[in-house]
């Protein structure tokens, strides 16, 4: 008798699957449109018409004029325009107020501006990450020329009253830039009504393709291009337009009303998840604002005393995709900046998971997710794999004769932490490396930050591997907490001629 393994995607905030209508639109372009939109002949003119049609489709979804839309390679590029917009702040102002829970694609450009002598003022969110006009008033100064405030948080799902904050910002003579990546398709967006001056979007968060997005620039708002080198996008963004990706973005934008029509049912399923998991695991706490104050499908939950990296591995073993925070930060060991900004300790942040359900999430999938959470939280699954904290490692364990140590690298070219002596090194995606591995003794898996090894351990568990151990917090945690121990085992390894593989 065999057991079917379900597959449930609970990480739609990281990316969404490409919809059927988007695939159809993109395939048509890939097979029928080969010209450069900047060329003057007939095929080029047809391609240019397609670009403008996509601009009109997205503009219609946002209730703005097409001339306010600039196509980009994604929201990251759009957010990096902060570096060219900041010098245009009125009256020579040099201060920027921002939400400390912003995505790294916003925080990094802000960090670079701070290095260029701009002053950053972090607003102070409450327990659920909420920021309002009263919070802006409390920290406002006449030196602030730009407010950077997201519309929806990617980790907690918190929604913000952008219209009220835009009115306050404009009343004080400043501009407002908003990352609306997680808001589009999940809550109604009327940019004309909201009044924001700049906004960023990404197609792959609304069932479109990766590699394309847009920047909204309100009519009359100062603007300077960030990408230069050509006259595309009316001189506002250099680079040949990606026709098939723009066709996909346009199709996804046309489907936004369908997505919005599904949000009430999605919110009900999320509330059921919160209710049921609270019943069988009362220790859980939630970082997502209740009711309509959050996205319909996002929930952030803290499970005290449990390592989120190991929980991700267990969920992956059962076919459930989830996240520990922003997908762009999963390979790092630092606790989520968004969670620490709302007052969670580093330990609590490392015990927190984010689930983000898609618009087609079904009651059957919800029942399966709850069933697996109950098995993980109340059962004895944790006994299948041994979790070794940095303090648990000993010289006797590492130098036992039949131990096999595998170091998992997510990105083969990324150097990361130095592997333990005697380790074999393999990439997370290289499944062929495990086919010939038949260890007779125990197997210890390590990785740089503590996320990849648990996931691989549960994959190996599914393949029948036994006697598995995982180093919690990765080699980063070992290096931070026990540098003397690391130096000692490396010295012992050199004495025995057992250097790690390069």
| Mean pLDDT, rounded, for 112-118 | 96
The answer to whether residue 328 scores a pLDDT higher than 50 is no
The answer to whether residue 279 scores a pLDDT higher than 80 is yes
- Domain covering 384-495 assigned CATH 3.40.250.10 in the classification: yes
User: Start-end ranges of CATH 3.90.1150.10 in the chain?
Assistant: 8-13+261-383
Q: What confidence score (pLDDT) does residue 333 get?
A: 59
> CB under 8 Å to 91, separation ≥6 — which residues?
145, 173
DSSP secondary structure string, 94-139?
A: -EEEE-TT--HHHHHHHHHHHHTTPEEEE----TT----HHHHHHH
Q: What confidence score (pLDDT) does residue 260 get?
A: 98
What's the pLDDT tens digit per position in 116-145?
A: 999 999 999 999 999 999 999 999 999 999
SS3 38: coil
Among 242-246, 295-299, 308-312, 333-337, the range scoring the smallest mean pLDDT is 333-337
Query: Edge-to-edge strands of the sheet including 285-286?
Result: 285-286, 298-302, 352-356
Q: 308-317 vs 363-378: helix axis angle to the nearest 10? A: 130
> CB under 8 Å to 261, separation ≥6 — which residues?
none
- What band does 327 get if pLDDT is binned at 50, 70 and 90? very low
- Class for domain 20-258, per CATH? alpha beta
Q: What confidence score (pLDDT) does residue 502 get?
A: 33
**Residue 49 or 426, more confident:** 49
What predicted TM-score, i.e. pTM, was given to this entire model? 0.88
Which numeric CATH code is attached to 8-13+261-383? 3.90.1150.10
User: Start-end ranges of CATH 3.40.640.10 in the chain?
Assistant: 20-258
User: How do beta strands 69-72 and 213-217 pair?
Assistant: antiparallel
Cα angle value 353/297/277 (rounded, 5°): 55
| Mean pLDDT, rounded, for 453-480 | 87
| Mean pLDDT, rounded, for 110-121 | 97
The residues assigned a catalytic role are: 328
Containing 75, the helix (H) or strand (E) segment is: helix 75-80
Q: What confidence score (pLDDT) does residue 6 get?
A: 84
DSSP secondary structure string, 142-192?
A: TTEEEEE--SB-TTT-BB--HHHHHHHHHHTT-EEEEE-TTTTTTS---HH
In 305-392, where do the E strands start and end?
320-321, 352-356, 385-388
- What band does 418 get if pLDDT is binned at 50, 70 and 90? confident
| Mean pLDDT, rounded, for 144-168 | 98
User: Start-end ranges of CATH 3.40.250.10 in the chain?
Assistant: 384-495
- What band does 243 get if pLDDT is binned at 50, 70 and 90? very high
DSSP secondary structure string, 377-430?
A: HHSSGGGGEEEEPGGG--HHHHT-TT-EEEEEESSTT---SPPPTT-EEEETT-
């Amino acid at each position: 008798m065999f057991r079917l393994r379900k597959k449930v995607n609970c990480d739609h905030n990281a990316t969404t699957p490409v919809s059927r209508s988007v695939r159809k639109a993109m395939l048509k372009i890939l097979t029928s449109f080969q010209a450069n939109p900047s060329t003057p002949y007939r095929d080029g003119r047809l391609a240019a018409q397609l670009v403008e049609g996509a601009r009109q489709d997205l503009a219609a979804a946002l209730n703005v004029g097409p001339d306010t839309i600039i196509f980009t390679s994604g929201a990251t590029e759009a957010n990096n325009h902060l570096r060219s917009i900041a010098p245009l702040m009125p009256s020579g102002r040099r201060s920027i107020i921002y939400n400390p829970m912003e995505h790294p694609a916003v925080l990094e450009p802000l960090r670079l501006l701070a290095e260029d002598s701009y002053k950053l003022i972090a607003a102070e969110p409450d327990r659920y990450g909420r920021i309002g006009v009263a919070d802006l008033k409390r920290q406002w100064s006449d030196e602030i020329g730009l407010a950077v405030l997201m519309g929806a948080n990617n980790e907690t799902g918190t929604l913000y009253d952008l219209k009220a904050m835009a009115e306050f910002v404009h009343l004080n003579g400043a501009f407002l830039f908003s990352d609306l990546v997680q808001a589009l398709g999940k809550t109604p967006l009327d940019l004309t009504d909201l009044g924001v001056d700049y906004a960023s979007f990404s197609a792959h968060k609304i069932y479109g393709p990766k590699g394309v997005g847009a920047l909204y620039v309100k009519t009359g708002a100062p603007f300077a291009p960030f990408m230069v080198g050509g006259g595309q996008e009316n001189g506002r963004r250099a680079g040949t337009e990606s026709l098939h990706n723009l066709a996909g973005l346009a199709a996804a934008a046309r489907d936004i009303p369908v997505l919005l029509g599904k949000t009430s049912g999605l919110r009900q399923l999320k509330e059921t998840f919160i209710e049921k998991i609270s019943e069988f695991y009362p220790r859980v706490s939630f970082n997502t604002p209740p009711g309509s104050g959050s996205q319909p499908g996002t929930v952030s939950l803290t499970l005290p005393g449990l390592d989120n990296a190991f929980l991700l591995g267990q969920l992956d073993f059962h076919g459930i995709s989830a996240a520990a925070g922003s997908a762009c930060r999963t390979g790092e060991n630092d606790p989520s900046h968004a969670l620490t900004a709302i007052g969670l300790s580093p330990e609590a942040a490392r015990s927190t998971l984010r689930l983000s359900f898609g618009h087609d999430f079904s009651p059957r999938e919800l029942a399966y997710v709850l069933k697996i959470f109950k098995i993980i939280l109340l059962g004895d699954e944790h006994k299948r794999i041994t979790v070794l904290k940095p303090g648990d490692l000993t010289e006797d364990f590492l130098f036992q004769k039949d131990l096999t140590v595998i170091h998992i690298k997510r990105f083969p070219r990324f150097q990361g932490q130095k592997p333990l002596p005697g380790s074999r090194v393999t990439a997370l995606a290289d499944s062929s490396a495990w086919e010939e591995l038949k260890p007779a003794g125990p197997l210890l898996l390590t990785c740089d930050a503590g996320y990849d090894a648990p996931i691989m351990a549960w994959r190996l568990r599914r393949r029948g591997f036994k006697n598995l151990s995982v180093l919690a917090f990765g080699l980063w945690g070992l290096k931070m907490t026990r540098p003397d121990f690391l130096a000692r085992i490396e010295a012992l390894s050199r004495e025995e001629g057992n250097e790690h593989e390069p």
